[in-house]
Each structure stands twice: as C-alpha cells, then as structure tokens.
Amino acid sequence: MKLHRIDHMGIVLNDFPAAKAFFLELGLEVQAEGIAEGDWVGNVIGLHDVKVAYAMLRTPDGGATIELIRFHRPPAEEGMQQSVVNTPGIRHLAFVVEAIEAVVAKLAKHGAELVGRIQNFEDTYKLCYMRGPEGIVLELAEKIN
C-alpha cells in the first residue's frame, strides 16, 4: 500500500455562488463543475435521493484543489454555528499569497474579515487568519524575501 497525496478538500455550503466567487477572487481556478445526482452518489456518501451542485477549484500551480458542494437534496440540517479557531476538527485552509495586505483588502470586499491581525513570523512570513463565506477560516501566508 502506498499513499500518493491528498486529492482535495470538500466544503459543503449554503450560498454556493457567493463562496465560488470568493474563492475565484482569491485566485483559484475552475477545474470542473456540474450537478451530481442519483443512486451512485447516494451509495458513495450514504444518503438517499441526492442532488448536489459542485465546483472543483484548484490553485494556479495545480498543487491543491477544493470542492465546493451545495446540497439540493436531501435538505441540510438547519443552523450553522461558527466555531472559534481552537475548536477541535478541521479548522482552516491555508494559502500562500503575494501582497497579503492587498489580498486581505480584496477579500474584504467579498465579506471576509480578519480574525486577528497580520503578523510577522520570525521575519520569514507575514501571516493572518480571515473568516470567509459561511464562516470558513483561511490562513494567508506571504513569504518575506
């Protein structure tokens, strides 16, 4: 047995168009998108009568992919709580960027908010956390030359 790589990270959303626009603004590119439904989907994920919209978005270098998912059927559980960043579980997505201040300003126009502040880490990176669509936490990192 041999593990090759992490293929992608899936994110279930309510406001699919807003999340897609947000990640495209960040710089990800559409790899594929469409509708998936039928018994084969339900058999994979363990639900019945499934219909989802999805978009596979990748970084420009092709090194990472996220899948945005909106369930049309079955309906999602009501209510969503935003977790604080130290809650156990998968907590954030990290992206390496150029011009971190400009990226923060651009994403703020799409409703993202800084969780804390942009900080210098040992003169190697500028780092910050932002809360994006539907509470998704992003870590942005800019290498300091």
| pLDDT tens figures, 61-107 | 999 999 999 999 998 776 666 777 777 777 899 999 999 999 999 99
Structural domain contains residue 47: yes
Residues 56 and 103 in one domain: no
- Specify which residues 58 forms β-bridges with: 29, 65
Q: Are residues 68 and 97 located together in one domain of the fold?
A: no
Domain range for 45 is: 9-73
What pLDDT score does 11 carry? 93
**DSSP code at position 82:** P
* Domain co-membership, 69 together with 13: yes
Q: What is the pLDDT of residue 145?
A: 84
Residue 83 lies in a domain: no
CA atoms within 13 A on the CB side of 61: 5
CA distance 28 to 37: 25
Whether the per-residue pLDDT at 40 is higher than 70: the answer is yes
Average pLDDT, whole number, for the chain?
A: 91
Answer yes or no: is 60 within a domain.
yes
**3-state class of 41 per DSSP?**
helix
pLDDT of residue 121: 93
- The pLDDT, as a whole number, for residue 81 is 65
**pLDDT tens digit sequence for 117-141:** 999 999 999 999 999 998 899 999 9
Evaluate whether residue 130 is within a structural domain. Answer: yes
Quick one: 58 and 103 in the same domain?
no
For residue 88, tell me if it sits in a domain: no
pLDDT above 90 coverage of the chain, percent: 73
Query: According to the model, what pLDDT value does residue 106 have?
Result: 95
Are 104 and 63 within one domain? no
Question: Residue 49 pLDDT > 90, yes or no?
Answer: yes
